[in-house]
Every structure is written in structure tokens, then in C-alpha cells.
């Protein structure tokens, strides 16, 4: 099997690429490298890996890169509510027009399966907890709007061209893949705590999120790439729901075990455009795809702490 991965140099994308290669697939990655970094994939030195630097809005480049692929995993995007708010024109262009270009290139090349990486941000404020796939789609910010538009494009290409398009709505992704970022809440807490800084909590700490390890995200993508009869469907991809205040306690507890000292926390004003409480129902993906999350939050925190300590010693 040959898989084209957009955003393959990124945090999730590179972890997916490594996993696909480990299972015997050949992979072509397309990434503009504005956020991702190919050095981690280059270090694999794998004969079945092709690395392309380019923009997903360039259809000619996409068609050349997708040639011979059996499926596309579309991860490339401008991520997050802050970046999309700061650069709205680019966010709309990359996340919506870029997704259209990916689908159009796949259609022209008769690639039937495209898996789109969406987000919990498409739901907005939950009207019922836990959130299932039938929940109203009312995003609160531009990032969520662009992801919802991407899902609608997937539906269009399924209905109009018979393509097996699948949308995966990721929870809050964390953990060490091929590498990790340190900006999102769990890795940020680990970085702050090990650096002797207080853990910064926005609001009262009662906000909750569904946290899912990057390896479980990769599991879901691979299942969506190979499971038959799921064209036009959307699936929640989650792991464990934890309140942010409790998360800070878990990180502090694990840092104390690893280093002999815990971490304090400081509360800052809540950020606009963020949901207060969020939790996923996973019945659909578990029943249809056989998805089973394998990482608890505490297990992933321990992994991040060990990884960060190696970095601090110059080993990572």
C-alpha cells in the first residue's frame, strides 16, 4: 500500500508516517515546513519514504506527489484558534482551499480513500455531555469553522464522486510521537514544572478536555485508511476526559516522583473562544473501526516527563 500524507513533517503526521512504514507501507509526505521539520523523518533513512516540500494549495505539486497512491491522509493545516485568529486569510486559504485542492487532486488520480483530520472544535459549546457525532456543529472560532468546512468538502466529494472520504474529530492531542511540541496544555505543564515555573491554568481549573495520545490518534487514522464501507462518515477520536485543575495535580505528582519536587499552579483569566467543559462519546469509532485508546493521561505524562528530562540532559 502507498499512502500520501499531507503535513507529514508535523507532530502527528511524522508519527503516522513512521507507523505506516513500520507496517510495510510506502509513504510520500507533502509539507511546506512552516511548522513541521523533516529532520526526524530523514533520520529514519527509510527506502520507502519520499519527502516533498510544497504547499497543499499547489494542485500540480499534489498530483505529482499523489501519483500511485492508494489513499491520502490529509493532516496539513494551519492549527489552533490563536494562529487562525491572528492570520485569518491564510487560515481560510490553507484549511479550506487547501483541502479542496487535496480532494481535487485525489479525484483526478482516482484515489478513492481520503482521511481528513478534523477537530473537536467543530462542536463548539456542548449542549449535552458526552458529545457524540450527532451533536450540533456550532464552532466558536475560525479554526473550528475551517475544520467544519473541510468536513463538508469531504461530504461533497463522497456524495458527488463516490470517494471514500472520512473525517476524524481529534480531541486534545498529547504525548511523544516521533517528537513532540511543548505548547499545548499537557506538554506545557510538563515543560513548566520541570523548568521550575508554575503551571499556568486559564480560568478556575474546572474546564475539562478529552485528551488523546498521539499514538492513539495514529491508530485511528490507520483504521480509517483501511476499514471498508465508511465513506462520508465522521468519527470522534478521544481518550480520557480530565479537568485542567486535576491535570495540573497529575503533572505535579509525576514530576515530584521523577525529580523529587512538585510544581505549583497559577490561575490566569480564561481565554475567549474556548469551551468550558468537553468530553467525547466514543461508541461509534469503537464499534465501527475497532478503535481502543491505549494511553491514559497519567501514562502519557510520565512519558513526556522522561522525554523532557532526556532533552534537558542533552540526550534527546
DSSP 8-state code for residue 271: P
295: three-class secondary structure by DSSP: coil
> For residue 201, what is its C-alpha cell?
491554568
Integer Cα distance of 35 and 25 in angstroms? 25
Integer Cα distance of 111 and 164 in angstroms? 9
Phi, psi of 209 (to 5 degrees): -140, 155
Run of H or E including 217: helix 214-226
Integer Cα distance of 238 and 240 in angstroms? 7
Integer Cα distance of 147 and 142 in angstroms? 9
Integer Cα distance of 87 and 164 in angstroms? 32
E strands in the chain: 2-6, 26-31, 49-53, 71-74, 113-119, 164-170, 172-174, 199-202, 208-213, 233-237, 240-243, 265-268
Integer Cα distance of 299 and 262 in angstroms? 17
Catalytic site residue from 11, 123, 143, 307? 143
Active site residue 280: no
> For residue 116, what is its C-alpha cell?
481528513
Integer Cα distance of 92 and 147 in angstroms? 10
- Residues assigned a catalytic role: 143
Amino acid at each position: 500500500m502507498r499512502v500520501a500524507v499531507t503535513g507529514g513533517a508535523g507532530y502527528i503526521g511524522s508519527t503516522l508516517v513512521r507507523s505506516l512504514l513500520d507496517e510495510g507501507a510506502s509513504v510520500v509526505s507533502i509539507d511546506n515546513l512552516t511548522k513541521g521539520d523533516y529532520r526526524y523523518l530523514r533520520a529514519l533513512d527509510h527506502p520507502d519514504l519520499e519527502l516533498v516540500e510544497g504547499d497543499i494549495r499547489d494542485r500540480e505539486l499534489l498530483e505529482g506527489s499523489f501519483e500511485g497512491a492508494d489513499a491520502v491522509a490529509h493532516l496539513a493545516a494551519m492549527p489552533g484558534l490563536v494562529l487562525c485568529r491572528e492570520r485569518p486569510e491564510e487560515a481560510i486559504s490553507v484549511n479550506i482551499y487547501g483541502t479542496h485542492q487535496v480532494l481535487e487532486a485525489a479525484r483526478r488520480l482516482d484515489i478513492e480513500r481520503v482521511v481528513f483530520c478534523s477537530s473537536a472544535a467543530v462542536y463548539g459549546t456542548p449542549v449535552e455531555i458526552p458529545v457524540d457525532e450527532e451533536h450540533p456543529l456550532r464552532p466558536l472560532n475560525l479554526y473550528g469553522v475551517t475544520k467544519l468546512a473541510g468536513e463538508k468538502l469531504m461530504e461533497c466529494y463522497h456524495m458527488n464522486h463516490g470517494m471514500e472520504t472520512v473525517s476524524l474529530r481529534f480531541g486534545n492531542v498529547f504525548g511523544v510521537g516521533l517528537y513532540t511540541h511543548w505548547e499545548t496544555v499537557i506538554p506545557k505543564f510538563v515543560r513548566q514544572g520541570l523548568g521550575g515555573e508554575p503551571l499556568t491554568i486559564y480560568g478556575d481549573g474546572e474546564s475539562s478536555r478529552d485528551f488523546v495520545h498521539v499514538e492513539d490518534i495514529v491508530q485511528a487514522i490507520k483504521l480509517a485508511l483501511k476499514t471498508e464501507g465508511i465513506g462520508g462518515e465522521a468519527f470522534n477520536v478521544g481518550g480520557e476526559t480530565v479537568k485542567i485543575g486535576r491535570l495540573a495535580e497529575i503533572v505535579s505528582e509525576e514530576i515530584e516522583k521523577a525529580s523529587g519536587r512538585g510544581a505549583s499552579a497559577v490561575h490566569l483569566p480564561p481565554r475567549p473562544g474556548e469551551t468550558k467543559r468537553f468530553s467525547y462519546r466514543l461508541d461509534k469509532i469503537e464499534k465501527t473501526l475497532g478503535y481502543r485508546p491505549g494511553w491514559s493521561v497519567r501514562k502519557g505524562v510520565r512519558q513526556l516527563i522522561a522525554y523532557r528530562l532526556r532533552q534537558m540532559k542533552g540526550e534527546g
